[in-house]
């Protein structure tokens, strides 16, 4: 199976390409240049893997939550490439991608959502007869860091930028339930690729026009007073 995965939900551009069992990756801190460099870098990755877009069986993307501009870029690129090559798409939640990237089996995924809030979810990997699969213990939501919901049990791993920005507030809530914290972890295209493979294998991917972002927060713009305060979405 040949698949392309991409994520632009953070300041990084992350790409991964699966070709006949071999994975090619590209990750760079893009800042605000995602839209300028993503298509050339996808082409470079295709060239490195010696495949063409028409040789793929699908495209997966980090659908959010994350940067509003970033998740729109990812959805737009997945949609455009999917339309152009008649390929199905799979949208993957970035919080789930964090859990997958952590290497742990019990993850409290938390991304800095700006404006004093966090995107938050909790996942546990459940072992099945054929393969393991993630189960959402707490569905993705938007919270003030001091108001995130509780989880049961111990051995949890905290993952994502929210744990760096709001370490004190989150640690007060989860305390001794934590086994470790990976505050530098980002959703990666490699993790998205792994999560997407079963979706394509089962024929559950969607048409390109269904490549929609996951926002959670409904606001797409700041008030003038909020911009003057240095707040960001």
Q: What is the pLDDT of residues 140-198, one digit of tens each?
A: 999 999 999 999 999 999 999 999 999 999 999 999 999 999 999 999 999 999 999 99
Q: In the prediction, which pLDDT does 228 show?
A: 53
Residue ranges and CATH numbers for the domains of the chain are 3-94+187-228 (3.30.420.40), 95-182 (3.30.420.40)
Query: 107 or 132, which is more confident?
Result: 107
Cα–Cα distance between 42 and 54 in angstroms, integer?
13
Q: In the prediction, which pLDDT does 227 show?
A: 45
Q: In the prediction, which pLDDT does 223 show?
A: 47
Per residue in 40-76, pLDDT tens? 999 999 999 999 999 999 999 999 999 999 999 999 9
pTM: 0.91
Q: In the prediction, which pLDDT does 132 show?
A: 76
Question: 204-218: b or e for each residue (b if 16 or more CB lie within 10 Å)?
Answer: ebeebeebbbbbbee
């Amino acid at each position: 199976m040949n698949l392309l995965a991409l994520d632009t939900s953070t300041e990084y551009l992350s790409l991964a390409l699966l070709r006949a069992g071999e994975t090619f990756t590209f990750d760079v801190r893009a800042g605000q240049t995602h839209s300028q460099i993503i298509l050339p870098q996808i082409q470079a990755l295709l060239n490195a893997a010696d495949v063409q877009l028409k040789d793929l069986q699908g495209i997966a993307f980090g659908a959010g939550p994350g940067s509003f501009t970033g998740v729109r870029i990812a959805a737009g690129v997945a949609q455009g490439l999917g339309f152009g090559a008649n390929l199905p798409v799979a949208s993957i939640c970035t919080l789930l991608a964090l859990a997958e990237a952590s290497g742990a089996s019990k993850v409290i995924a938390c991304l800095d959502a700006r404006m004093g809030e966090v995107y938050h979810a909790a996942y546990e990997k459940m072992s099945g007869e054929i393969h393991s699969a993630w189960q959402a213990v707490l569905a993705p939501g938007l919270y003030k860091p001091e108001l995130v919901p509780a989880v049961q049990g111990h051995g949890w791993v905290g993952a994502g930028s929210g744990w760096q920005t709001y370490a004190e507030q989150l640690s007060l809530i989860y305390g001794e339930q934590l086994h470790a914290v990976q505050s530098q972890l980002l959703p990666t295209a490699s993790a998205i690729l792994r999560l997407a493979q079963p979706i394509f294998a089962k024929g559950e991917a969607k048409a390109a026009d269904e490549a929609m972002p996951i926002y959670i927060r409904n606001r797409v713009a700041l008030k003038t007073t909020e911009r003057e305060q240095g707040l960001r979405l």
